[in-house]
Amino acid sequence: MKTPWFRYRDFFGSNPQRDLTDEIRFHVETETEELIAAGLTPEDARQKALLKFGDVDRFLAECGASDARRLARRRRAGLIDVLRQDSRYAVRSLLRRPAFTATAVLILAIGVGANAAVFSVVDHLFLRPPAGVRAADELRHVYVRRTRDDGVSSFQARFPFAEARIIDSAIAGRFPSTVWARRDLIVDAGHGSRRVPGAWVAPTFFPVLGVRLHAGSDFSATAPQPGEPFASAVISWAMWQRELAADPRVIGRTVKIDSQPVTIRGIAPRGFAGIDIDVTDIWLSIGGGAGSASANRWYNDWGTIAFRVLARVPAGASDDELARRIDAGVRVSTAAAKIARPHVKSRNVASHAVPGPILGARGPDGTTHEESTAAVLAGLALLLLAIATANVANLLLGRALDRQREIAVRIALGMDRLRLASQVAIESVLLAGAATVVAVATTVWAGAILRVMLFPRTEFKSGPLDLRVAALALALGIGAAIVGGIVPLSATIRLDLTGTLKRGSRDGGGRRSLSRATLVGIQGALSVVLLVGTGLLGRSLHNIRAIDLGVDVERLISVTFGDRASESRVKDVTELARSLPGVSGVALTAMMPFWDQLGARVLLTREGDTVRTVDRGSGYVPAGPGYLRVMGTNVVRGRDFTPEDRAGAVPVTIVSEELARRVWPGRNPLGECLRIDRQESACYSVVGVAEDAHAFQVVEEPKPIFYIPLEQPPDPTAEESRLRVLVVRTSGATAAITARLRAELRDTATALRDRSVIATADVLRPQYRRWEIGAKLFAAFATLAVLLAGLGLYGVLSYVVSQRQREMGIRLALGADRRRVMALVVREGARQIAVGAVLGVVAALMLAPRISGLLYRVSPRDPFAVGAAVVVLVVAALLAAMIPARRAMAVDPVSAMRDD
Amino acid sequence: MAGQPDLLQGTLDVLVLKALSWGPQHGHAVARMIRAATEGAFDVLDGSLYAALHRLEEREWVEAEWGLSDKGKRAKFYRLTPRGRAQLRSESASWERYAAAVSMMLGATVQPDAT
């Protein structure tokens, strides 16, 4: 009875309701007959039989329900059986063609893996609040939308310290709020100085974030009074582990930060690494800053805009109220700024507070370079997935075509088309599953590499692989399999039976190879898009590297002295550096090149009797004798400073070309007179014009800069006039001299501990790096894309050749030139790729403006990049076509014709 | 017939399983066998018996097939599955233990030790 027949009867044709009534009828009739035989009248017998049976309706209900449950279970079991059978069949047929299976899995895995790796980064940047922060969705960064008199408006996220403090106190009555600024610091924890990503924070910083320190205390208990130096710091758990050997006695220890002794007061909890995408390793309390002139520059300067205001909007409070309070604060600070800097006329006509989320990437002011890189990356990964999907669709379709005859036979023998389609679908899903496993496994390291490359300063809260990433990978894999499986699926369902059986498999699929050609075309098009992107970023990188900084960065080292370094100490180190072999020049200044902020000054000139403010944002560079020569900045007119330009001598200045252009357009600036900040300032006579030099960035507009002899500072009493930095020019590579200088300075012992020796190229390197990474990433994605497209084309052409072997045999037998047969195949490939290339160029021209933020001095529609992309694709296509073409050429006419 | 003990569902199930242990039967024959074997001690409505048969079928202790009765009529025949047979074995064993315990107590002639 456990025969398949039984099972199938359950599926088809069984009628449980009728069976039940039949069963009762049989029982009652039999019983009646027996009772009649026992002597009852037929009437009575039937009565009694029914009476003995009991409630018929209840029986029907109870037994009917029981039967229904049983049948449903059986049907489920049957379905699972069928699925299991089909899966087993699919696994077997996949294993029978390991090359096909491995290729398909690999291709899908590339697409899925790229997306998983990128998602693990994007997720971190855009979707997750910073770790270790309590109720991060309640936190708001303050943004102010400013509208200028010319109608242009922009979001301001960072404020001068004074303004940030005013806004903070305007909010504080109602909302917990705090002020902070990111600032890299030079830290010496006992084994050499190192640049550490840090932040200055108000005493309320940790309490507002709800961050409880791992050890020690935060700044909220005993905030330094204004006027006190930065006395204390909180360090990150990671830094504590890495650089202080997780020593619990580290609290209370003194380290040097920006050459100042600072006491470590606390250790942040594990996992908390600041609240923006870059990791923070050290937090300094914002006090007054009298102890540090470099800090003063940040603090008391309305032109230094670095501080952010952070507020918590608890449940029940409204963002509107927060905005109103911010607006009130901004009004006060605008008034205060006018008093502090009467000579500066603001162009802002309106401002409006906008509380934004804590995640910088989602703020209203747009995104940073890193964040837009991540967004573009996500786009690239999706493109690659599309290519991989098209490719797998192609492979599956090829396979479906190969099996056309087999399938036609099975359908003719009565197999359900839907069942066949489900087998094809199961095959796709199995491939996707295997690919996802491979992809997820590779994400672990691919994601890690991506993170280190893209975000070297970001501490990721979780490994590259977590449940979300795995779930996404699985979803994408199955999605790709379904999309990739649709074409072969519809081919199976729509299969023309008689045609296929009559034709035989050899000549099959004229129309189908059209859809395969379309898939190859799509891959080619997407590859072109990626190739164009690669070309654009490559050109940008080339342009970036070719920028003339106006400074000979590669041969420059700077030595920063602490605020309290004595003059004799500075002099000793200077002489020591000068005496080193390989050093071609040394000069003193007050700022580390490409690191320290230029003091922004207001310049005035006197014309006749009127004093005119000529420029507001000019950068002031104090320069000792020989400074410009050491920096490699050429004096284009007039003269350089000499040792004669000392205190007491006639005050002189050298201006940059940009400054000269702005202040004296079309005139000779030599001999003109500049006053600095105040009308009554001394008159600095312009003695030279220097070529424009970059001050901070590799990419920056020429800034107006003026140089003033170190001994003739405009404000001799200011602390910053005491700062000293030594710049050293080497005749060869800097590495040896840097090491030498460090060693030498250490050797000359105790008096010279305040050093900080850094090659300027190392300071700038991170700025080049992101351009390099962009180009490399695009190149990597494009390479994969071209490889995939080439594979796709190869697959289609190989198929075409094997399908048309007989035709080619005939051509050859009839005397066709072998090379023409080869050309036939190549032409076939060329046609498919040409269509793809054209589509790709159109798509690239449409998409490229989206990455214009990643480009430098290259039009997003750069003809060179587009041309190169097409050439690369065509070459790849020719290479891919070569193998099948040669195979076509080598067809043996006799065996090709006999073999059917 | 009133006043006779109500037949518990579980007990009826065992009786049905036992009735089928001699071979496939239709429902009417099962009813007849139970009535004969228990000598009318239990008054079972035939409807309850069929409910039991379907219940057992749902549990896969019995399976059913349509066949022809002695008189050539279409009838549903039930037979024990291996699982049903195992179930019958374990139920009979526990029933015997139970019955032995009850009859030991009821048949006792000396007051059992109360400590």
pLDDT in tens, A558-588: 888 765 667 888 888 899 899 988 999 999 9
Provide the CB-side half-sphere exposure for A727 (13 A, CA): 30
A52 interface with B at CB cutoff 8 Å: yes
pLDDT at A260: 72
Distance from CA of A76 to the nearest CA of B (A): 14
| DSSP structural state of residue A260 | E
Q: Is the pLDDT of residue A239 over 50?
A: yes
Separation CA A643–CA A752 (nearest Å):
25
Separation CA B51–CA A63 (nearest Å):
6
Chain A and chain B share a number of CB contacts under 8 A equal to: 67
Across the strands, what pairs with A656? A690
Q: Give the residue-averaged pLDDT of A331-354.
A: 79
Distance from CA of A74 to the nearest CA of B (A): 10
**Interface contact flag, B58 A69, Cβ < 8 Å:** yes
Vertex A697, ends A691 and A702: CA angle to 5°?
35
**Interface contact flag, A55 B47, Cβ < 8 Å:** yes
User: Which of B9, B33, B54, B66 best tests the A interface by mutation, with the highest count of A CBs <10 A?
Assistant: B54
Residue A608 backbone class (left: φ over 0; alpha: ψ -120 to 50; beta: rest): left
Question: Which residue from B46, B66, B71 is facing A54, i.e. has the nearest CB?
Answer: B46
Per CB-CB distance under 8 Å, the chain A contacts of B63 are 1-2
Tokens 């040792």 appear where? Answer: A643
CB A64 within 8 A of CB A17: yes
Q: Which of A535, A125, A149, A204 is nearest to A367 (CA)?
A: A125
| DSSP structural state of residue B80 | E
**Interface contact flag, B69 A26, Cβ < 8 Å:** yes
Per CB-CB distance under 8 Å, the chain B contacts of A67 are 54, 57-58
- Percent of chain A past pLDDT 70, that is, above it, reads 84
The total of other beta-carbon atoms located within 10 Å of residue A722's CB is: 16
**Interface contact flag, B76 A62, Cβ < 8 Å:** no
pLDDT in tens, A514-530: 677 787 888 889 899 98
| DSSP structural state of residue A625 | T
Radius of gyration of chain A (CA): 39
Task: List A residues 85-114 in contact with B (Cβ-Cβ < 8 A).
Answer: none
**Interface contact flag, A66 B51, Cβ < 8 Å:** yes
Residue type, A232: S
Residue type, A826: V
Which residue of chain B comes nearest to A56, CA vs CA? Answer: B47
Q: Which two tokens stand for residue A424?
A: 């094809």
Q: By mean pLDDT, which of A110-124, A290-304, B29-43 is the weakest?
A: A290-304
Distance from CA of A467 to the nearest CA of B (A): 40
User: Which of B16, B46, B70 best tests the A interface by mutation, with the highest count of A CBs <10 A?
Assistant: B46
**Interface contact flag, B58 A70, Cβ < 8 Å:** yes
A54 interface with B at CB cutoff 8 Å: yes
More confident residue, A188 or A52: A52
Across the strands, what pairs with A309? A179
CB A28 within 8 A of CB A50: yes
**Interface contact flag, B73 A56, Cβ < 8 Å:** no
Contacts of A301 (CB under 8 A, 6+ apart): A160, A599, A600
**Interface contact flag, A22 B55, Cβ < 8 Å:** no
Q: Which of A371, A461, A373 is nearest to A136 (CA)?
A: A461
More confident residue, A809 or A692: A692
**ipTM, 2 decimals?**
0.86
**Interface contact flag, B58 A66, Cβ < 8 Å:** yes
Per-residue pLDDT band for A370 (boundaries 50, 70, 90) equals low
Q: Give the residue-averaged pLDDT of A782-790.
A: 86
Residue type, A327: D
pLDDT in tens, A479-493: 887 787 777 777 766
- A654 SS3 class: strand
pLDDT in tens, A691-727: 999 887 888 888 889 999 988 888 777 666 677 889 9
Q: Is the pLDDT of residue A544 over 70?
A: yes
A6 interface with B at CB cutoff 8 Å: yes
Q: Give the residue-averaged pLDDT of A734-761.
A: 64
Per-residue pLDDT band for A686 (boundaries 50, 70, 90) equals very high
pLDDT at A688: 95
pLDDT at A535: 92
- A396 SS3 class: helix
Which residue of chain B comes nearest to A9, CA vs CA? Answer: B65
**Interface contact flag, A23 B50, Cβ < 8 Å:** yes
Distance from CA of B46 to the nearest CA of A (A): 4
Per-residue pLDDT band for A665 (boundaries 50, 70, 90) equals confident
Q: Is the pLDDT of residue A24 over 60?
A: yes
Per-residue pLDDT band for A615 (boundaries 50, 70, 90) equals low
According to the per-residue pLDDT averaged within each range, which of A81-85, A104-108, A490-494, B52-56 is highest? B52-56
Is the Cα torsion angle A649, A655, A660, A662 positive or negative in sign?
negative
A53 interface with B at CB cutoff 8 Å: yes
pLDDT at B77: 92
CB A309 within 8 A of CB A176: no
Distance from CA of B98 to the nearest CA of A (A): 30
pLDDT at A663: 84
Q: Is the pLDDT of residue A367 over 60?
A: no
Q: Is the pLDDT of residue A3 over 60?
A: no
Q: Is the pLDDT of residue B4 over 50?
A: no
Per DSSP, the residues of B29-65 read HHHHHHHHHTTT-S---HHHHHHHHHHHHHTTSEEEE
**Interface contact flag, A66 B57, Cβ < 8 Å:** yes
- pTM for this prediction: 0.64
> How far apart are the two ends of chain A, measured CA to CA in Å?
47
**Interface contact flag, B50 A63, Cβ < 8 Å:** yes
Per DSSP, the residues of A94-115 read HHHSHHHHHHHHHHHHHHHHHH
Contacts of B53 (CB under 8 A, 6+ apart): B16, B27, B30, B62, B64, B78
Provide the CB-side half-sphere exposure for A746 (13 A, CA): 11
pLDDT in tens, A141-152: 899 988 877 777
Distance from CA of B86 to the nearest CA of A (A): 18
Per CB-CB distance under 8 Å, the chain B contacts of A63 are 50-51, 54
Residue type, A817: D
Per CB-CB distance under 8 Å, the chain B contacts of A75 are none
pLDDT at A611: 65
User: Which of A29, A63, A74, A76 best tests the B interface by mutation, with the highest count of B CBs <10 A?
Assistant: A63
φ/ψ (deg, to 5) at A188: -120, 105
Distance from CA of A23 to the nearest CA of B (A): 6
Residue A220 backbone class (left: φ over 0; alpha: ψ -120 to 50; beta: rest): alpha
Distance from CA of B103 to the nearest CA of A (A): 32
- Chain B residues with at least one Cβ partner in A under 8 Å: 26-28, 31, 45-48, 50-51, 54-55, 57-58, 63, 65-66, 69, 71, 73-76, 79
pLDDT at B85: 93
Please, where are the H alpha helices in A38-154?
42-53, 56-96, 98-122
Question: What does the mean pLDDT of chain A come to?
Answer: 80
Separation CA A24–CA A863 (nearest Å):
87
Q: Which of A364, A388, A348, A305 is nearest to A104 (CA)?
A: A388
Alpha-carbon distances of A432 from A92, A109, A388, rounded to whole Å: 16, 8, 12
**Own/partner pairs, B1-6, CB within 8 angstroms, 24+ separation:** B1/B43, B4/B41, B4/B42, B4/B43, B5/B42
Where in A498-609 does DSSP place strands (E)?
556-560, 583-589, 599-607
Per CB-CB distance under 8 Å, the chain A contacts of B26 are 26-27
**Interface contact flag, B63 A2, Cβ < 8 Å:** yes
**Interface contact flag, B79 A1, Cβ < 8 Å:** yes
Q: Which of A249, A301, A274 is nearest to A196 (CA)?
A: A274
Per CB-CB distance under 8 Å, the chain A contacts of B27 are 23, 26-27
According to the per-residue pLDDT averaged within each range, which of A577-586, A732-741, A849-858 is highest? A577-586
The total of other beta-carbon atoms located within 10 Å of residue A838's CB is: 15
Contacts of A291 (CB under 8 A, 6+ apart): A228, A229, A230, A260, A563
Q: Which two tokens stand for residue B57?
A: 């079928």
User: Which of A34, A52, A75, A76 best tests the B interface by mutation, with the highest count of B CBs <10 A?
Assistant: A52
Question: Which residue from B47, B57, B74 is facing A26, i.e. has the nearest CB?
Answer: B74
User: Which of A3, A50, A59 best tests the B interface by mutation, with the highest count of B CBs <10 A?
Assistant: A59
**Interface contact flag, A63 B54, Cβ < 8 Å:** yes
Residue A651 burial by Cβ neighbours in a 10 Å radius (0-12, 13-18, 19+)? buried
Per CB-CB distance under 8 Å, the chain A contacts of B72 are none
A58 interface with B at CB cutoff 8 Å: yes
A55 interface with B at CB cutoff 8 Å: yes
pLDDT at A542: 92
Contacts of A725 (CB under 8 A, 6+ apart): A558, A559, A560, A561, A588, A589, A590, A591, A592, A596
